[in-house]
């Protein structure tokens, strides 16, 4: 299945209750040959509005820090574990995660990234695939709010750059 076909499946998906309150499915975006995949937990209100991942304040901050470290956003694939926004941005329930994970698994097997970067709480739910390197890092929204987290986040993105250049 192509990424485009997968996107249409996500837009039309009714496998869990989350589609009901959402404006748009947010499959994720990035090149088919991305070496790095960034995975958050679920889209927020800005992402729901535009149908694109990490486009709100945290997403802009993430894009900025990636750029400062020589990583262009358009060179990485960005997505979430769960593809529809949740009510009041609550954490997705276990059954919602279970219903949605096949889409992330399909994205991983299509793109075959070298490294998967797990942002914040997504680390708990993300599948681990043999042969792929994983990097668990601070979520950009936490990095924006807390100085210590920000410094840690910057160090972790610098580590990602190092790995990409190896």
The least distance separating ligand SF4 from the CB of residue 90, rounded to whole angstroms, comes to: 13
Q: Which is nearer to ligand SF4, 12 or 165 (CB)?
A: 12
Alpha carbon distance 76, 102 (integer Å) = 20
Which of 10/55 has CB closer to ligand SF4? 10
Q: How far is the CB of 22 from ligand SF4 (least distance, A)?
A: 7
For residue 34, CA distances in Å to 13, 113, 116 come to: 25, 6, 10
* Closer of 25 and 59 to ligand SF4 (Cβ): 25
Q: Name which of 99 and 108 has its Cβ closer to ligand SF4.
A: 99
Q: Are 92 and 116 in contact (CB under 8 A)?
A: no
Kindly provide the residue ranges of all beta strands, DSSP E only, lying in 46-145, ordered along the sequence: 77-80, 115-119, 133-137
Q: Which residues sit at the interface with ligand SF4, rule CB under 6 A?
A: 10, 13-16, 18-19, 25, 82-84, 96, 99-100
Query: Rounded to the nearest whole angstrom, what is the least distance from the CB of residue 149 to ligand SF4 in the complex?
Result: 27
Radius of gyration over alpha carbons of the chain, in Å? Answer: 15
């Amino acid at each position: 299945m192509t990424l485009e076909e997968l996107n249409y499946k996500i837009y039309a998906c009714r496998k869990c209750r989350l589609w009901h309150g959402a404006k748009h499915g947010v499959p994720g975006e990035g090149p088919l040959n991305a070496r790095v995949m960034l995975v958050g937990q679920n889209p927020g209100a800005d992402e729901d509005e535009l149908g694109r991942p990490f486009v709100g304040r945290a997403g802009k901050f993430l894009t900025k820090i990636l750029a400062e470290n020589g990583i262009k956003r358009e060179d990485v694939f960005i997505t979430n574990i769960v593809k529809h926004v949740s009510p009041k941005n609550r954490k997705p329930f276990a059954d919602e995660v279970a219903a949605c994970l096949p889409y992330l698994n399909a994205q991983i097997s299509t793109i075959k990234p070298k490294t998967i970067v797990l942002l914040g709480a997504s680390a708990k739910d993300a599948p681990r695939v043999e042969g792929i390197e994983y990097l668990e890092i601070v979520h950009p929204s936490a990095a924006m709010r807390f100085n210590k987290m920000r410094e840690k986040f910057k160090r972790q993105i610098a580590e990602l750059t190092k790995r990409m250049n190896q």
